[in-house]
Chain A
Amino acid sequence: MRYLKKFIDAMRIIVKNRKGFVGLILLLIPVSMAVAPNLIAPYNPWDIVDKPFLPPSSKHLLGTNDVGQDIFSELVYGSRISLLVGVSAAIAAVFIGTIVGLFTGFYGGLLDDILSTITDVMLLLPILPFMILMAALLGQGYQNIVLTIAVFTWPGIARLIKAQVMSLKNFPYIEAAKAYGASSMRLMFRHILPQIYPLIVAFVILRTGGAILAEAALSFLGLGDPTQKSWGGMIYWAMNSGAISSGRWWWIVAPGIMITITVEATALIGYAIEEYVNPRLKGE
């Protein structure tokens, strides 16, 4: 019950913000597809339901693909993998980033120097070739893509969390807790961490969008899981089946629009939460 109330409070905050409201509405599209694909999609996306390469018609809203599967049904079911990979990679990256940020911000010193060096370098380097290498070495499978994305996106989060922790640890209430004899662990996890929960939620939402884009890029390079359907994977197969040179724009446009809507939604909701946490941002 307590969590339900918190959830409703959070929703109220997001809906009050104009950006957040638009974001939630947009997010309903992919989420409803992922929750109840069987109610929305007319066919099973794995069934060969018609001749291959059919153009859009009333029977197949987005035509059929290279083996005769219904593209609209693929799109609806594809939302599941895209959202799942996005959310899990974001949670994994934010989890690592939070732990690292908490410790480096709290202890500072050498730990902080090491983290700063790693973060600086990782923000500078082109991460795509590194992600390609890691995904290729780990082999196909969505867990591996989640792991790859998380490994290369946590440093930015760690840096932001660190900054928050460094300012929080000088607050009088922390000093009071310390005076009462609270251990470092207790200070970090009981007194500081709860203060940054809203920020963590905002990061998870914002990073979900980034992770969906990363998944699409890796799938587009042929590193996706061929046994699953995702939006990035659909674009990959469309490209490899000559969708461009035969002008089948619907096959490419549809999954890309779904990705754009989802990423835009996460960005808008993320901004709304950030504006709530940090009201100075408002109107910028």
Chain B
Amino acid sequence: MSGLIRFFIRKIIARFITFFVILTLTFIIPRLLPGGAFAYLVENPNIPPDLRQVLIKQFGLDKPLLDQYLAFLKQFFTTGNIGISFSRLQPVSTVIFQALPWTITLVTTSIIISALIGMLLGLYSAYRRGGYFDTISVAISMIIRSMPGFWLGMVLLIIFGYYLGWAPLFGVYTYGYQYSNILDYIGDVLYHLRLPMITLIILSIPEYLILMRNSVINILGEDFIMVAQAKGLTDREILIKHVFRPASLPILTALTIDVGFSISGAMLIERVFSIPGVGRLAYDAVYMQDYPLLLGVVIYTSALTLILVTIVEIMYSFIDPRVRLE
């Protein structure tokens, strides 16, 4: 038990150090670059002088760098905020906390569903290695991995949204609609999120399919499979009881790396489907040159990734206790 706790503490400390480095980088980079974010702010003639004074004060640009850094850290760790978004005139943290739930919903559901589907398809692909199903699923996986994800979203949106009318063209709510109760609201949101989620799931399946397929092929070559066959177990029993669990371990490792990819993918998909998540914020921030908001997006997407990765690692340590000994 103490080994387990030590494992958790070590993981959490490592992740926290990583996050601290990112936080420091987001502080340093815009201040270091010549003509960077804050030069733009100070020299921009479109910003009225009184607002400029407020902004310079807000970022403490008139103080020594170390004071600025300490104030930055203090503000982040006490309020979670890193400044005022100058396109929305609200604290960055407020803007981001409104957006994060959308991104979290998209990322978590798509990872779970695509991992499950990908593992099942990969298992079957490996079992029928060299057959039609295997050849076709591997080929399709390679093609999907070569597509720009956001482009697939746009194509699906034109087909199912514009031509077939099965999905709304943009947004997450039906405008001007009065919800009678919470279920009604959830139903409407899910109706709007259906197509973006399906897009993200399609985009993630190939990764898991190929990994699972290779993992199962390795395990099918092991001696204990021959023992199981010799005992007279059916193929189905062998696949479910003896192959699935050991083969799925590499998938869990891959999940940790996939979290970051999925967040990047979801950010692009949000722009396609006009979902008000952090991807949409990043796009708006670039468009409005709202650097505090953009820095906030970097900080919070990193934090989200590190938290999700740590959760996956802790789950993994329960399924495969060997990793705790690392």
Contacts and interface: CB of A to CB of B under 8 A. Distances in A.
Interface of A: 121, 123-130, 132-133, 136-137, 209, 213, 216-217, 220-223, 232, 235, 239, 244-245, 247, 249, 252-253, 255-256, 259-261, 263-264, 267-268, 284
Contacts of B217: 284
A42 B283 CA distance: 35
B19 to A, nearest CB: 10
Interface string B277-294: 010001101110101001
A256 B147 contact: yes
A217 B301 contact: no
B297 A129 contact: yes
B100 to A, nearest CB: 13
Nearest to B298: A129
Q: Sorted from nearest, which 6 A-B pairs have the closest CB atoms?
A: A128-B264, A256-B151, A263-B146, A264-B146, A126-B263, A126-B260
Contacts of A260: 143, 146-148, 151
B18 A132 contact: no
Nearest to B256: A124
B267 A247 contact: no
B158 A217 contact: no
Contact of A220 (B36, B256, B271, B294): B271
Contacts of A255: 151
Contacts of A124: 18, 256-257, 259-260, 305-306, 309
Nearest to A128: B264
Contacts, number: 139
B252 to A, nearest CB: 14
B192 to A, nearest CB: 15
Contacts of A232: 148
A132 to B, nearest CB: 5
Given A133-B298, A217-B150, A235-B151, 20 more contacts: A124-B257, A125-B302, A126-B301, A128-B267, A129-B282, A132-B282, A137-B33, A137-B36, A217-B268, A220-B150, A232-B148, A239-B154, A244-B157, A244-B162, A245-B162, A249-B155, A249-B158, A256-B148, A260-B143, A267-B146
5 contacts: A124-B305, A129-B263, A133-B26, A239-B154, A260-B143
Nearest to B283: A221
Given A124-B306, A232-B148, A252-B151, A267 B264 contact: no
Given A126-B263, A247-B158, A221 B148 contact: no
Interface of B: 18, 21-22, 26, 29-30, 33, 36-37, 142-143, 145-148, 150-152, 154-155, 157-158, 161-163, 169-170, 214, 217, 256-257, 259-261, 263-264, 267-268, 271-272, 278, 282-283, 285-287, 289, 291, 294-295, 297-298, 301-302, 305-306, 309
B147 A259 contact: yes
A78 to B, nearest CB: 14
Contact of B169 (A132, A245, A268): A245
B146 A223 contact: no
Central interface residue in A124, A213, A261, by most chain B CB within 10 Å: A124
B271 A244 contact: no
A126 B300 CA distance: 11
A136 B294 contact: yes
A266 B304 CA distance: 33
Nearest to A239: B154
Contacts of B285: 136
Classify the secondary structure of B's interface with A.
helix
A90 to B, nearest CB: 15
A132 B29 CA distance: 13
B41 to A, nearest CB: 12
B162 A247 contact: yes
A137 B214 contact: no
Contacts of A256: 147-148, 151-152, 154-155
Given A133-B294, A222-B287, A264-B142, A127 B158 contact: no
Contacts of A245: 162, 169-170
A216 B264 CA distance: 13
B104 to A, nearest CB: 13
Contacts of B282: 129, 132, 221
B85 to A, nearest CB: 14
Contacts of B267: 126, 128-129
A106 B56 CA distance: 48
Nearest to B32: A137
Given A247-B158, A252-B158, A222 B283 contact: yes
A259 B21 CA distance: 35
A212 to B, nearest CB: 9
Contacts of B286: 132, 136, 221-223
A128 B278 CA distance: 12
A213 B148 contact: yes
B304 to A, nearest CB: 8
Contacts of B29: 133, 137
Nearest to B152: A256
Contacts of B169: 244-245
A25 to B, nearest CB: 15
Nearest to B302: A125
A284 B221 CA distance: 14
Contacts of A264: 142-143, 146
Contacts of A137: 29-30, 33, 36-37, 291
